[in-house]
Amino acid sequence: MSQTDLLRFATAGSVDDGKSTLIGRLLYDSKQIFEDQLEAIEKTSLDRGDEYVDLALLTDGLRAEREQGITIDVAYRYFSTPKRKFIIADSPGHIQHTRNMITGCSTADLVLVLVDARNGITEQTKRHAFIASLLRISHLVVCINKMDLVGWSKERFQEIRAELETFVTRLQIPDITFIPISALQGDNVVDRSTAMPWYEGASLLHHLEDVHIASDRNLIDLRFPVQLVMRPRSQQLHDYRGYAGQVASGILGVGDEVMVLPSGFVSKVEGIEFYDQELEQAFPPMSVIIRLADDLDISRGDMLCRPHNKPYISQDLSATVCWMSEKPLEEGTKLAIKHNTAWGKALVHEIRYRLDINTLHRDESAKELGLNDIGRISFRTTVPLFYDEYRVNKATGSFVLVDEQTQVTVAAGMLLTHT
């Protein structure tokens, strides 16, 4: 499967905007559900006295687990069409679940935001658009849902679109698409709607199948964090030494000159293994084993890069973080940090500001970050990080902070260049 055959997208919206119905409609109309599943939801809908088959039931199976107190932050669903495979990250729409949306969006190529045509743009809509911008997601699709309840009004659609376009001019989202839909009736979800002849764009599924994501990945700056050193103890592979990991960015080829960080030693790529195949090239997000021409001292957490294109190397760092713990983050807090394949410890020196993600105002008087807060911090680590600014390279510009006592992830962070 090539890097463009798979589209990861996250769904976001306020409560009751119709996310479950929309996902159910995508699965149903693209024929991704089994007959027994369809029969079960038809029976449940009939038993409840519904006038229609409630497709939201396809994805609401998690509701029972939530009611039993089982925490499910983000649910992942899979489906495919002849043109593409899809992974949907579906996170709760409640205002207090900013951390869940960031988790769901962290690996997404595209964010799909639902807006109720009756309610229009809400604080939640702006919050979701801002988080997509913060995470540098290039593609935003705004589905203006329940168009059947506003008489399929072109004027209402244009009014909502104009309001959100005014807001997103303050953000950095290069590609934004607006689609008027009725998830309940299926208009413009998989097939084009006959009820809105004034809309000349593609249906949602058609847009998802065709959106171009290959250029979103950084194929310039080679970064290969070493995850595992392979030293088989066998007669056949007596002198074998390979370095396993995932290509974070850039393109790596046999014969390429590479530098190892932190040592600074330089060698050439002798071979690239992918399962039992020998490759000439590897690119993100492939997981491969690299063999080098020289026998160098390399361990987990080291990084391969180009000799003349190195990442930043520093222990004093600045980052934007989303705080995910009920215990506030304060200056002087000590935490574990995981960055790529390396672990270390971090001491928070300063909380620069807390961000109001509804107004984009920076509160520089803030001395702590609470649950779901987003802010900028400065910190020092016990080991140097090999990193790029997040806006240039998501893979090497992101990290997580972990509470060492509970082993719970308490923050997701995006590195900035300047301290």
Lowest average pLDDT, out of 29-43, 87-101, 238-252, goes to 29-43
Tokens 């997404």 sit on residue: 108
- CA–CA distance, 372 with 334 (Å, rounded to integer): 19
Q: What is the CATH number of the domain that holds 22?
A: 3.40.50.300
Provide the pairing of β-strand 175-180 with 139-145.
Answer: parallel
Same domain, 271 and 378: no
Q: Report yes or no on 184 lying in a domain.
A: yes
Q: Are residues 391 and 356 in the same domain?
A: yes
DSSP 28-56: HHTT-S-HHHHHHHHHHHHHTT-SS--GG
Asked if residue 183 belongs to a domain, the reply is: yes
> How many structural domains is the chain composed of?
3
* 330 lies in the same domain as 266: no
Q: Is residue 1 part of a domain?
A: no
Rounded Cα–Cα distance for residues 294 and 241 (Å): 10
d(CA 283, CA 219): 7
Judge if 317 and 301 occupy the same domain: no
Q: Which of 162, 185, 216 is the last residue of a domain?
A: 216
Rounded CA separation 340/249 (Å): 12
Residue 357: the pLDDT is 75
Whichever domain contains 357, its CATH number is: 2.40.30.10
Residue 191 shares a structural domain with residue 62: yes
Instruction: Answer yes or no: is pLDDT of 204 > 60.
Output: yes
Please check whether residue 167 lies inside any domain of the structure.
yes
Task: State whether 23 and 101 are in the same domain.
Answer: yes
Mean of the per-residue pLDDT values of the chain: 85
| pLDDT bracket for residue 72 (50, 70, 90) | very low
If asked whether residues 212 and 353 sit together in one domain, one would say no
**What is d(CA 137, CA 134) in angstroms, rounded to the nearest whole number?**
8
Q: Which residue has the higher pLDDT, 72 or 313?
A: 313
Does residue 32 surpass a pLDDT of 80?
no
Q: How much is the pLDDT for 70?
A: 35
CB-based contact 46:38 (threshold 8 Å): no
Same domain, 26 and 51: yes
Last residue of one domain, picked from the residues 193, 216, 239: 216
For 147-186, write each residue's pLDDT tens digit. 999 999 999 999 999 999 998 888 888 899 999 999 888 8
Residue at which a domain ends, from 155, 185, 216: 216
More confident residue, 79 or 109: 109
**Same-domain status, 280 and 368:** no
Q: Please give the Cα distance from 323 to 128 (Å, whole number).
A: 16
Answer yes or no: is 114 within a domain: yes
pTM: 0.81
397, 306 Cβ separation under 8 angstroms:
no
Query: Contact 290/281 with Cβ under 8 angstroms?
Result: no
Which structure tokens are listed for 103?
Answer: 């988790």
Same domain, residue pair 199 and 246: no
Confirm if 104 and 10 have CB atoms less than 8 A apart: yes
- In one-letter notation, the amino acid at residue 398 is S
Bridge partners of 303, per DSSP, are 225, 261
User: Structural domain of residue 263, as residue ranges?
Assistant: 224-305
- Position 212 pLDDT exceeds 70: yes
Contact 187, 147 (CB under 8 A): yes
